[in-house]
């Protein structure tokens, strides 16, 4: 089965640490982003998520990262864990990031 616990790194150099996954699939950790448009220095940010483990061992998962330490934004990630031909686990994810805007008419530019 896919084990999300531990350190993960993406193609841009961002890192995520999942501390542990409970029996119900709930997990927490920290996200260390390598990219940001915020003016404040980047800091590790808390994440919380949930995974669904199928009988074949591949799991789908989702988590939220609150960038509250250096930005007025929140991101959500969804993905699936795969075992590569070399036996290593790899995560494939998609994400949405919501930045704070000053007014409702600016809503169109708030989500990436």
pLDDT tens digits for range 67-99: 988 888 999 999 999 888 898 889 999 999 999
Note the pLDDT of residue 53.
75
Q: Which two tokens stand for residue 45?
A: 């940010």
- Mind spelling out the 3-state secondary structure of 75-96? EEEEEEEEECCCCCEEEEEEEE
pLDDT value for 57:
62
Domains for the chain: give ranges and CATH numbers. 6-106 (2.40.128.30)
Please answer whether residues 30 and 44 qualify as being in contact, where contact means their C-beta atoms are separated by less than 8 angstroms: yes
Q: Outline where the chain has alpha helix (H).
A: none
Question: Which runs of E-coded beta strand occur in the chain?
Answer: 6-9, 15-21, 26-32, 45-53, 59-66, 73-83, 89-99
pTM of this structure: 0.87
Residue 17's pLDDT is what? 97
H-helix segments, 13-80? none
Q: Please state, as a whole number, how many other Cβ atoms lie within 10 Å of the Cβ of residue 54.
A: 11
- Residues of the chain below pLDDT 50: none
């Amino acid at each position: 089965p896919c084990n999300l616990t531990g350190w993960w790194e993406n193609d841009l150099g961002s890192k995520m640490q999942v501390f542990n996954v409970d029996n119900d699939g709930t997990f927490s950790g920290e996200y260390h982003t390598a990219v940001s448009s915020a003016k404040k220095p980047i800091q590790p940010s808390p994440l919380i998520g949930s995974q669904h483990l199928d009988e074949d061992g591949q799991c789908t998962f989702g988590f939220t990262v609150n960038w509250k330490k250096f930005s007025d934004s929140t991101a959500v990630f969804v993905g699936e864990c795969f075992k590569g031909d070399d036996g290593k686990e790899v995560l494939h994810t998609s994400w949405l990031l919501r930045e704070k805007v000053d007014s409702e008419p600016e809503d169109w530019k708030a989500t990436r």
